């Protein structure tokens, strides 16, 4: 995980819950940064990942994780206004996430950075029912649906969402991308949920989405529908728990 003196100073204040000190670190660093996106990539995003890793390894408790995540999100809220937007690229992206403050923070930063890259962004956050996501994908016709930060327990739900979208044909040429969360820890899991694209973070996701061609629609199904089988938990997924 990337590290720097600025990141270490920020992490110390973040884990201590010192809002004023966190803002000072970011303001001092941001004043010397020509492109505000580097603040996301080099400070806010690594801090988010480190807080999540510390919490999952029981090195910090829920109170510290919650406090740090909320401070990080408030800083992202302030610096979003400093992002300079590129000309519109006439592409749409619909972004959703697993429920939870950390996951919503990651998806929010993705939304900020995609918007700055010229995309027309629709940001849902977490906790939205699958059928509503599917209906919105049919109405808005986005080029990409990004699902960010899934937890191990949420993998069956993402697989079901992708299956519903493909089966009903809500938006046949839309690519579905997954990022962050358990997909970063379980090699190849993104393929098992039948996603089209996988990116570890926003820095990878944006150029990948820019270069993605429209998805080729699935061929029409011949014969009666197959019975759904209950999937077993994969070894890759089990290894993350």
- All residues at 6 or more sequence positions from 230 whose CB lies less than 8 Å from its CB, including other chains: none
Same domain, 171 and 195: yes
Query: Is residue 228 domain-resident?
Result: no
Query: Is residue 55 domain-resident?
Result: yes
Same domain, 99 and 39: no
Exposed / middle / buried, residue 84 (Cβ in 10 Å: 0-12, 13-18, 19+): exposed
**What's the confidence (pLDDT) of residue 35?**
85
Domain CATH number, residue 136: 3.40.50.280
Cα 213 from Cα 210, distance rounded (Å):
9
**What's the confidence (pLDDT) of residue 79?**
87
Choosing from 27, 46, 80, the residue where a domain stops is 80
Q: What average pLDDT values come out for the chain (241 residues) when binned by 10 residues?
A: 82 97 90 84 95 96 97 93 92 95 94 97 95 96 96 94 92 96 95 97 97 85 55 57 51
**What's the confidence (pLDDT) of residue 231?**
55
Query: Is residue 216 domain-resident?
Result: no
Cα 147 from Cα 118, distance rounded (Å):
19
**What's the confidence (pLDDT) of residue 220?**
63
Query: Is residue 227 domain-resident?
Result: no
**What's the confidence (pLDDT) of residue 171?**
92
Cα 230 to Cα 76, 101, 160, 194, 227: the distances in Å are: 40, 30, 11, 16, 10
Choosing from 46, 80, 114, the residue where a domain stops is 80
Same domain, 127 and 57: no
Domain count, the chain: 2
Query: Is residue 230 domain-resident?
Result: no
Choosing from 38, 53, 80, the residue where a domain stops is 80
pTM recorded for the entire structure: 0.88
Closest Cα partner for 114 from 99, 92, 98? 92
**What's the confidence (pLDDT) of residue 225?**
52
Residue 165 domain boundaries: 92-211
Same domain, 43 and 10: yes
Query: Is residue 221 domain-resident?
Result: no
Query: Is residue 196 domain-resident?
Result: yes
Cα 171 to Cα 8, 45, 89, 144, 167: the distances in Å are: 44, 31, 20, 10, 10
């Amino acid at each position: 995980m990337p590290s720097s003196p600025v990141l270490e100073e920020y992490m110390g204040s973040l884990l201590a819950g010192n809002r004023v000190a966190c803002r000072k670190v970011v303001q001092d660093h941001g004043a010397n940064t020509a492109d505000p996106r580097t603040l996301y990539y080099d400070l806010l995003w690594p801090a988010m990942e480190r807080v999540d890793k510390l919490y999952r390894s029981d090195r910090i408790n829920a109170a510290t994780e919650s406090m740090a995540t909320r401070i990080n999100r408030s800083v992202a809220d302030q610096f979003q206004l400093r992002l300079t937007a590129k000309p519109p690229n006439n592409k749409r992206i619909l972004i959703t996430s697993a429920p939870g403050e950390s996951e919503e923070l990651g998806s929010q930063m993705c939304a900020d950075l995609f918007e700055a890259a010229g995309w027309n962004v629709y940001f849902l956050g977490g906790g939205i029912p699958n059928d509503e996501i599917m209906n919105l994908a049919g109405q808005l016709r986005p080029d990409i649906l990004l699902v960010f930060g899934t937890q191990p327990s949420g993998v069956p739900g993402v697989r079901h969402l992708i299956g519903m979208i493909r089966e009903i044909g809500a938006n046949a040429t839309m690519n579905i991308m997954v990022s962050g969360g358990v997909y970063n820890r379980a090699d190849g899991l993104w393929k098992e949920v039948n996603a089209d694209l996988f990116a570890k973070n926003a820095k990878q996701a944006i150029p990948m989405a820019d270069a993605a061609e429209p998805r080729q629609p699935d061929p029409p199904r011949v014969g009666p529908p197959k019975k759904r089988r209950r999937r077993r938990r994969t070894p890759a997924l089990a290894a993350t728990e």
